[in-house]
Structure 1
Amino acid sequence: MQKKLIALAIAGLVSAPAFAQSNVTIYGVADAYVGFGKHGENDLRGVNSGALSGSRLGFRGTEDLGNGLKAVFVLEQGFNIDEGTEHVEGSAYSRQAFVGLGGSFGTISLGRQYAPGYFFSYDALAAAAIGPQSVLSNGAGMSITPNNRARWNNSVAYTGSFSGLTARVIYSAKNEEVNYKRGTSTPDVYDYANPSSDDAYGVGLEYANGPLKVGGVYQIVKYSENFELDDTLNWVTENGSKKQKEWGLGASYDFGVVSFHASYQSASNLSGWKSYDADLWQVGLVVPVSTAGNVHFAYGEVEFDNPKGEKDTDVKSYTLAYTHALSKRTTAYVAWNRTDNGKGEELGLVEYRAKAGDLTPGGENSDLLGVGIRHTF
């Protein structure tokens, strides 16, 4: 018996350095709010998930391989805290799932990852779901967005930071994006194309130095089918890849008493629809009103350049919010968003949360007031 105990102790000592060289962190966000909203005939009342940040549970790990090289991985699942369900049904790690190698050169990773457009955050709400940039880019079908279209499957990505400059490059061999009807978030309802054999790629640069942050993004998503209007103004399907091309520029500056935020982004051939283009701009400011409280205001517009025979339309969105840090990890907030839809448009947070069979006819405005709390761990 004594020999067995000694052997186990020696085995533990031998394996101890291997465990000491690795590190796994459990992290997450729990964000819930009580919402009151209206969009045409759709009413929203009750608890919802993620007005400031998407609720998530993640595992992040590193292992020191020696000579400055390390292995890295991230597994991150999004969930709806109001119901305890998966954010994307049937996806175990819907937000991120990748493994890679890192060092002084940066990090190279493989899996489901954020495209550079996900980090295009130059708005006063820090890419919150209730902010205009998120509402408009998601509703327009852009891949430069802090939403699901900026998470790409089967991808190879590189990230490197050098003296304040961060570079991001990604290539997705099978993007597997589904087509959304513009203004909705229900891909199972409007899956017009199957671009699973298509690819996507993007590059982003960002420079941060003290109070200044500036950056730019360029991305292309290809679709195996595309759509255009014929001479009788009926949609027709054409075979062959159609590229959705996007670019964006943004900047923010913190003066201490107030910080300013602004960005502009443009997209052509949205979701492979020929001549469906969009331009989105937004501005905002954050004013500290105490050591723990901030007032946020943001305004944005997206203008759709529609195909021949269809009138161009635009959508305006604005948000007023107050956030109060109860601690380093817990924030209470109250926020209001109004989205004014042009004729035929259906953008807005209330519309996104409506059931597929209850969508509001285009042109109705969307209002949402949320009071909530966010905890990070």
Structure 2
Amino acid sequence: MTKKICRALALLACVDAANAMAQSQVTVYGLLDTGLVHTTNANAAGSSVTRMPSLTGSLPSRLGFRGVEDLGGGLQAVFTLETGILLDSGGVSQGNRLFGRQASVGLKGDFGTVTLGRQINMTFISILKSDVMGPNLFSISSIDGYFPNARSDNAVGYLGNFKDVLVGATYSTGRDTSASGGPGATGCPGEVAGNSKACRQVTALLGYERPAFGVNVVYDNLYGNTGAAGGLTSSDNSDRRIGVHGYVKAGATKLGGGIVERTTRAVTGLSESDLYYFGASHPLTPLITLDTQVARRDLKRSDADVTLLVARLTYNLSKRTAVYGGLGKIKNAGLSAIALDAGGTVGAGKTQNGVMTGLRHSF
């Protein structure tokens, strides 16, 4: 009798383990992308440079883990851990964070998805839908490096889709805990006793999406505090972006564009600008895609404006592997010094031309 009871208990344990495995699912995924870039006028002397970029090629490299557990009644537990990889050196990006691209846990149901942790915010989600170049080495990300780094530490997020209406928001009590430098590590950990405004960030999204077209409006306001980058060294300093973005599809061809109004109140004073962009993505053949984009940043009360022209040709060797090449041109007016290649350099007021090529593989 004792042996029979033991066998029954063992069988029940196996059934429970099998059910747990059936209800929990973890996906490992990643993308590796790098190449070479050559740009002119990389310094004040007008010298050219050839290099392997760190931040991105056609897309930033990453390794991720995504999990979901069925809790019953239409409710799921979800998590994402995603690290950015600097393929040229083997390092990690996003301020040297282990899981700098995403590190969140949440609940998902008919109500939408609620997440907690470091996560992409509504600016990232909004622009991703309309920017045909994405976080390419030559793209609007060169003009405003915040776009591909639109993530918030210490954040509570929500995203829901109700009959083609998209609603989302994030609230961060301390938007950026890394101070290692660059747009992904601006040094504003927040969570200061007696100053709840320090390093706070709020983003919100409202959109309407159909397979053939979509439009959304996004609001993003972040505050500073002592030691924060970009002149936001007080909780009274802020950097606000309001954007309208949209896309239209005709078959496999996609047109996308938008405008972003930015107002920065820093210790150095008030800065206001408008960024306009428009692009097209068109498959020339089932394996070859041409992406093009034009953009302009108008810096108010200044002649330091920027105009960008880029094009990229991608040849898909398979569903997971592609080679690509790109051309770009950026014109800096006045004392503007915006480099064509994200993370690169340019002489102030100089026009910069560039060519890039690379290889991408996803898994």
Q: TM-score range by the shorter chain?
A: 0.7 to 0.9
Residue in 2 aligned with 1:215?
216
Structure 2: which amino acid aligns with 1:130?
Answer: L
Residue 135 (structure 1) aligned to one of 119, 130, 142? 142
The CA distance in 2 between the partners of 1:351 and 1:374, in whole Å, is 18
| 1:174-229 CA-partner distances (Å, limit 9, x unpaired) | 1137899xxx93788xx7x85733201010123221221211101111123699xx
Please state if 1:327 is matched with 2:329.
Answer: no
Residue 28 (structure 1) aligned to one of 20, 24, 30? 30
Structure 2: which amino acid aligns with 1:134?
Answer: S
Q: How does 1:159-308 map to 2 (within 5 A)?
A: 159-176=159-176, 185=182, 196=190, 197-224=198-225, 240-256=235-251, 258-269=253-264, 273-306=268-301
**CA drift at 1:376:** 1.6
**More moved, 266-275 vs 311-320:** 266-275
Contact 1:130 1:335 in 2 (8 A): no
**CA drift at 1:110:** 0.3
Aligned pairs, number = 346
The CA distance in 2 between the partners of 1:132 and 1:51, in whole Å, is 11
The CA distance in 1 between the partners of 2:212 and 2:184, in whole Å, is 39
Change (3 A) 1:173 1:272: farther
Contact 1:245 1:269 in 2 (8 A): yes
Root mean square deviation of aligned Cα: 3.0
Contact 1:201 1:221 in 2 (8 A): yes
Structure 1, unaligned runs of 5 or more? 228-235, 355-359
Please state if 1:68 is matched with 2:71.
Answer: no
Residue in 2 aligned with 1:14?
16
| 1:103-123 CA-partner distances (Å, limit 9, x unpaired) | 110111100011100021355
Structure 2: which amino acid aligns with 1:334?
Answer: G
| 1:70-113 CA-partner distances (Å, limit 9, x unpaired) | 11100000001122111135311010000011111011110001
Structure 1: which amino acid aligns with 2:77?
Answer: A
Change (3 A) 1:289 1:221: same
Structure 2: which amino acid aligns with 1:329?
Answer: R
Which 4+ runs in 1 deviate beyond 6 A?
2-5, 177-180
Residue 77 (structure 1) aligned to one of 80, 83, 90? 83
Change (3 A) 1:328 1:271: farther
Residue 112 (structure 1) aligned to one of 114, 118, 126? 118
**CA drift at 1:322:** 0.8
Please state if 1:362 is matched with 2:348.
Answer: yes
The CA distance in 2 between the partners of 1:237 and 1:102, in whole Å, is 35
**CA drift at 1:298:** 0.6
Percent identical among aligned pairs is 25
| 1:127-163 CA-partner distances (Å, limit 9, x unpaired) | 132343222121xxxx5x1x22x11000000011122
Contact 2:223 2:232 in 1 (8 A): no
Change (3 A) 1:77 1:111: same
Structure 1: which amino acid aligns with 2:182?
Answer: S
Change (3 A) 1:271 1:121: farther
The CA distance in 2 between the partners of 1:108 and 1:19, in whole Å, is 24
The CA distance in 1 between the partners of 2:19 and 2:130, in whole Å, is 45
Residue in 2 aligned with 1:45?
50
Change (3 A) 1:123 1:368: farther
SS in 1 for 2:94: coil
TM-score, normalised on structure 1?
0.82
Structure 2: which amino acid aligns with 1:48?
Answer: P
Residue in 2 aligned with 1:233?
none
